């Protein structure tokens, strides 16, 4: 589990094709101290397992499922990525409960400066739209955000200067794809209600 509060801005160092899957090396200078093999690290909201360490970087294997369901297939060497290590009992829950299991890929459709903040509008896949509610939580590329408004498949968020400069959002352009994870409570509530209707 994660909180959606980005701890470090890392970078893709190397991408290797291995047996039909992909192995990535992700640089995170000064961030990995205390990390161990098998640790979960969210990379742009995708929960990955550290399978090896290479100096100031960690290595992770990405399956075909992960590549198909996220933006990871489009990542290139040198790309910046948002990093967050898994939640521990001592870590403050400053965002919301995030699983690191991406539900779908959305698109940035509008970007407007608003005083010192930025207003961003995204379009979600139709199958995810009903999970997104005004003043609810959404995870975009691993970042916990509050939904300002919803209009069909489109929704808006406000980005404060801290988030703009310390995550990948400040590097996004209209048309860019992003990983989306909807609120866990909404997802499980729907599943419970669906199960009740069929019994």
Query: Domain-by-domain residue ranges, the chain?
Result: 8-85, 104-195
Do 41 and 50 meet the contact criterion of CB atoms below 8 Å apart?
yes
pLDDT at 199: 65
**Which class in CATH covers the domain with range 8-85?**
mainly beta
pLDDT at 56 over 80: yes
168 Ramachandran zone, left/alpha/beta (phi>0; psi -120 to 50): alpha
Say if CB 186 and CB 131 are below 8 A apart.
Answer: yes
Give the pLDDT score at 40: 97
The two domains 8-85 and 104-195 share their CATH topology (first three levels equal): yes
Residue found by looking up tokens 């959305």 in the block: 106
- Residue 87: which pLDDT band, with cuts at 50, 70 and 90? confident
Q: Which of 60-74, 88-102, 123-137, 146-160 has the lowest mean pLDDT?
A: 88-102
Cα dihedral 81→161→100→130 (10° resolution)? -130
pLDDT of the residue at 190: 78
What average pLDDT is seen over the chain?
A: 93
In this structure, CATH architecture of domain 104-195:
Beta Barrel (2.40)
Percent of the chain with pLDDT over 90: 83
pLDDT band at residue 140 under the 50/70/90 scheme: very high
């Amino acid at each position: 589990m994660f909180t959606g509060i980005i701890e470090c801005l890392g970078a893709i160092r190397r991408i290797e094709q291995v047996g039909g899957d992909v192995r990535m090396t992700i640089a995170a200078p000064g961030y990995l101290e205390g990390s161990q093999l098998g640790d979960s690290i969210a990379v742009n909201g995708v929960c990955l397992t550290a399978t090896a360490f290479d100096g100031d970087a960690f290595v992770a294997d990405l399956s075909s499922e992960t590549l198909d369901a996220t933006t990871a297939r489009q990542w290139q060497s040198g790309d910046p990525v948002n990093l967050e290590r898994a939640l521990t009992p001592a870590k403050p829950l400053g965002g919301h409960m995030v699983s690191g299991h991406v539900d779908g890929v959305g698109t940035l459709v509008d970007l407007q400066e608003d005083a010192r903040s930025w207003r961003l509008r995204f379009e979600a896949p139709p199958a995810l739209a009903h999970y997104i509610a005004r003043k609810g939580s959404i995870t975009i590329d691993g970042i916990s955000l509050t939904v300002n408004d919803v209009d069909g498949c489109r929704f808006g968020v406000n980005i404060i200067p801290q988030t703009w400069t310390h995550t990948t959002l400040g590097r996004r352009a209209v048309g860019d794809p992003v990983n989306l994870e909807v609120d866990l409570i909404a997802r499980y509530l729907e599943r419970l209600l669906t199960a009740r209707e069929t019994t």
